[in-house]
Structure 1
Amino acid sequence: MKELCSKILTPTDVRVRLSFPTATTREHFKLLEGSQSLDFQVRDSYSKVWTFRLCTGKNGHLKPVLTKGWRDFVKRMGLKVGDKVIFVVHGNHNDQLGIQVKRNIKLLGNEHWADL
């Protein structure tokens, strides 16, 4: 398993859409010529498959965001500002995407990232 990217969630990520790292989009997701969106699937730690839409803006605005499916994922997983999402690749050909979610908790005075 290889980590593609991780992100600590902001208020916009939780309420509206996930701002997705541009470098990861360029390296792993090849948008079709002239296309500004791509649907892809990820499997969570409970083996549920989620479909997200990765969109880039028009007129050269390249900041990618996850739209379709993202808000349902946030609600179902109970995600909050400050939680972390980690996108991973696994499989023999690095073609299977996964998503992990973690929450920073304090335990005995120390901070730990716990799986949700």
Structure 2
Amino acid sequence: MHMQSSESEPGMKELCSKILTATDVGVRFSFPTATMREHFKLLEGSQSLDFQVMDKYSKVWTFRLYTRKNDGHPKPVLTKGWLDFVKRMGLKVGDKVIFVLHGNHNDHLGILVKRNIKLLGSEHWADL
């Protein structure tokens, strides 16, 4: 997966983005497996990892990344903390969540949320 600069802030690298489904909004967030393997190192034998992200308001959120043991296909999901984030941010099906790295050495994990809106006959992703 190529790292690319996010449009919203120079020096920010996008890890992954996803348009939210009904399951993501109501139950748990299905996290991209490739991103998990590349950026999150679960301890051997461990099925979960708590990590922190900062939103654009500088609020820190703690999420639990959980993987199911499933024939080599971990199917990672965000459990703890995720639904509180959804509720507080007012997220809906069709909104986009973007995980980013930022900071001087790309050492801080951030989260951006966007909503697709129609404006003057064309669609735009607006920050929430």
Q: TM-score range by the shorter chain?
A: over 0.9
Instruction: State yes or no: 1:56 paired with 2:63.
Output: no
Return the TM-score normalized by structure 1.
0.97
Determine which of 94, 97, 104 is the counterpart of 1:82: 94
**Runs of 4+ more than 6 Å apart:** none
Structure 2: segments with no counterpart, 5+ residues: 1-11
Identity of aligned residues (%): 87
Deviates more, 1:50-59 or 1:71-80: 50-59
Deviations 1:77-108 (A, max 9, x none): 00000000000001233221000000000001
**Match for residue 77 of structure 2?**
65
Determine which of 96, 102, 107 is the counterpart of 2:114: 102
Instruction: State yes or no: 1:19 paired with 2:30.
Output: yes
* Structure-2 separation of matches of 1:31 and 1:21: 15
CA-CA distance at 1:5 after TM superposition: 0.2
Q: 1:30 to 1:111 in 2, by over 3 A?
A: same
Aligned residues: 116
* Structure-2 separation of matches of 1:83 and 1:94: 25
Pairwise CA RMSD: 0.9
Structure 1: segments with no counterpart, 5+ residues: none
CA-CA distance at 1:58 after TM superposition: 2.1
